[in-house]
Amino acid sequence: MPRIYSFNDFIKHIYGKSESVFTCILGPNETGKTNMNFLIMERIHDLGIADRFGTNVKDVTADFEIDFIQDFETLKKNCEMLNPNPKKYGLKKYVYFGSEIGKWAARDKAWLNTDLIGELQTVRKYGLSMLTDAIDRVDARVLSPRFFAGEFEKPFKNNKTFATWKDYTTGQEYTFKDIPKTRIDYDTYDTANFYMQPQTPDDINIRLNHEHLLLKRYFECGKSWKKAGIHPQEGKRAKDKVLDQYMEQYLKTIQEEEASKAVSEPIAES
């Protein structure tokens, strides 16, 4: 019989690690997968083990801020904004609930998942932890120990408070009973979508980090720290941090362009 954890202890055990964590809930429709993922997000917030939250589920109401994001590019940019230089300043976590991964990382359309697989490891370095769910059909190259810590299973429509967990690394299995209802409100019948790129200009929604907000206030006040109500030393630290962020991005772009040119240039034969 698998060991039964209290739910909060389990959340700290799995999601409280310093590195990013990906998990998936598998099961038929109407087994409480969405409720459980939002419950996990709620507990992660309450335990203070993440800094920002997002989802591709529309019309969500919560007592903390949850970004609506339905494309990978915008999600990636938000994670980079949250973590401009994780090696220098430490890693902050962005927890994202990407519902219906079986639709946007389907095994019967594996050729469409190449870009996603290539990006997943990169964006984890910028603090992304992902909660997902699916009925089935998930590309095994995505739902694998390479990216995911493990999977939940919710097999019963007539018992939505029951779930099991299998850890991909250790092989340990846990059973959960009496899973409560989340306090996060959402549309049960909403269909969630997810794309690699923004579908409209309105989809590009990047929330500024603390340093960017300070500089925004500084410029709005005519480049006066005093009028902005910001101590000059704090302002200087913010400017240095933002400059570091854009220099890192600029150097990365140059390296990618040089690598691309090296691949495309013909090899001279002697």
**Distance between CA atoms of residues 267 and 79, nearest Å:** 38
Please count the CA atoms within 13 angstroms of the CA of 133 that sit on its side-chain side. 25
Name residues whose C-beta falls within 8 Å of residue 197's C-beta, 6 or more positions apart in sequence.
71, 72, 73
Name residues whose C-beta falls within 8 Å of residue 219's C-beta, 6 or more positions apart in sequence.
none
How far the first Cα of the chain sits from its last, in Å, is 68
Residue 1 has pLDDT above 50, yes or no: no
Mean pLDDT of the chain: 84
Number of other CB atoms surrounding residue 71 within 10 Å: 21
| pLDDT score for 87 | 74
CATH of 7-203 given 3.40.1190.20, 1.10.600.10, 3.40.50.300, 3.90.1300.10: 3.40.50.300
| pLDDT score for 130 | 94
- Region of 248 on the Ramachandran plot (φ > 0 left; ψ -120 to 50 alpha; else beta): alpha
- Listed ranges 89-93, 102-106, 157-161, 255-259; the one with the highest mean pLDDT: 157-161
**Distance between CA atoms of residues 171 and 153, nearest Å:** 14
pLDDT per position as a tens digit, 48-66: 999 999 999 999 999 999 9
| pLDDT score for 108 | 75
DSSP state of 246: H
**Distance between CA atoms of residues 65 and 52, nearest Å:** 8
Give the residue extent of every domain in the chain: 7-203, 210-263
pLDDT per position as a tens digit, 155-192: 999 999 999 999 998 888 888 988 999 999 998 888 88
**Distance between CA atoms of residues 99 and 56, nearest Å:** 6
Q: Which residues of 115-134 are buried (b: 16+ CB within 10 A; e: fewer)?
A: ebbebbeebbebbbbbbbbb
| pLDDT score for 2 | 47
Name the residue among 179, 104, 97, 110 with its Cα closest to residue 140: 110
Name the residue among 52, 86, 87 with its Cα closest to residue 205: 52
The SS3 assignment for 255 reads helix
Residue 96 has pLDDT above 50, yes or no: yes
**Distance between CA atoms of residues 22 and 258, nearest Å:** 32
pLDDT per position as a tens digit, 5-34: 588 889 998 998 888 899 999 999 999 999
| pLDDT score for 82 | 85
- Tracing tokens 């459980």 back to the chain, one arrives at 36
| pLDDT score for 45 | 96
Stretch 71-97: mean pLDDT: 86
DSSP code string of 99-143 = --HHHHSBGGGGGGGHHHHHHHHHHHTTTEEEEEEESS-B-TTTS
Segment (H or E) for 225: helix 225-228
Residue 97 has pLDDT above 90, yes or no: yes
CB 151 within 8 A of CB 143: yes
pTM summary value:
0.78
Residue 197 has pLDDT above 80, yes or no: yes
Question: pLDDT: is 241 or 196 the higher one?
Answer: 196
CB 126 within 8 A of CB 79: yes
